[in-house]
């Protein structure tokens, strides 16, 4: 646990450190446990945001193994579980690991914004041979249409790493880049060839429109290639990028 805006919560001092303090500053309670892998993924993200927001809210860490009474009081069914307390009472909550951008949106919709004058922390340098560095390299190669480099970067990606799921989705999406597609072909094949060309030219929104048209025409084309194409777009645009949100909703409507 790090940061001047992060503190441990216990049942003994809950009234003063959370309820009373929340009358002047919102408190985000993070219910976690040492054995919980997802908690260890979300926790550092919450702590970083708490520091970046410069005191706009405080992050209270609740160890559910030690503070079972509090976990019961908040009806915690699974962790990580986060509850925003403001004005002396819970006002909103979310469960599970969510992306950094979603945490910021959660705070923003509840009126919590960074304090004026706070400067975001400089991004840490990424070891190019680390899982994060390899994924970054693969994404850059995919955007350039270099499948060989992307494949090499993703080879033997550690399954236990938090980024493994994203790496798997990228590997799946590379099938779209390598597919044999004739731009002159009618229907779905022509739409996907057009989308690939647009994607490689970084015309991301145009590419997603072309892919949605392909999904609408035949979502099962070549074993679901249109869906793989869209997932690749989301990765290259950035899964936290709000531009993806309307396309994600439209894709879900077409698929299900």
Give catalytic status of residue 36 as yes or no: yes
Give catalytic status of residue 244 as yes or no: no
Residue 131 burial (CB count, 10 A):
19
**Could you say which of 39, 82, 233, 244 is catalytic?**
39
Question: In terms of Cα–Cα distance, which of 178, 235, 240, 172 is closest to 208?
Answer: 235
CB 78 within 8 A of CB 96: yes
Question: How far apart are the C-alpha atoms of 71 and 77, rounded to whole Å?
Answer: 9
Say whether 58 sits in a helix, a strand or coil: strand
Half-sphere exposure of 224 (CA within 13 A, CB side): 10
Question: In terms of Cα–Cα distance, which of 158, 157, 192 is closest to 178?
Answer: 192
The catalytic site residues sit at: 36, 39
């Amino acid at each position: 646990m790090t940061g001047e805006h992060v503190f441990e919560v216990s049942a003994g001092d809950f009234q003063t450190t959370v309820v009373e303090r929340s009358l002047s500053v919102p408190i985000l309670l993070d219910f976690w446990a040492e054995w919980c892998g997802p908690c260890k993924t979300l926790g550092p993200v919450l702590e970083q945001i708490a520091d970046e927001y410069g005191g706009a809210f405080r992050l209270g860490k609740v160890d559910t193994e030690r503070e079972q009474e509090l976990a019961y009081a908040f009806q915690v069914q699974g962790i990580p579980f986060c509850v925003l307390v403001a004005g002396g009472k819970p006002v909103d909550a979310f469960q599970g690991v969510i992306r950094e951008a979603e945490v910021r949106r959660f705070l923003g919709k509840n009126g919590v914004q960074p304090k004026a004058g706070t400067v975001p922390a400089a991004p840490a340098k990424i070891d190019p041979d680390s899982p994060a560095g390899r994924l970054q390299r693969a994404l850059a190669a995919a955007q350039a249409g270099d499948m060989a480099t992307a494949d090499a970067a993703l080879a033997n990606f550690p399954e236990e790493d938090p980024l493994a799921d994203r790496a798997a989705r990228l590997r799946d999406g590379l099938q779209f880049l390598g597919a044999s597609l004739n731009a002159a072909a009618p229907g779905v094949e022509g739409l996907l060839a057009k989308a690939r060309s647009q994607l490689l030219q970084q015309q991301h929104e145009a590419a997603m429109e072309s892919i949605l048209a392909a999904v609408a025409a035949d979502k099962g084309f070549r074993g679901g290639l249109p869906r793989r194409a869209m997932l690749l777009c989301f990765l290259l645009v950035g899964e936290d990028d709000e531009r993806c949100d309307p396309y994600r909703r439209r894709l879900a409507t077409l698929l299900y």
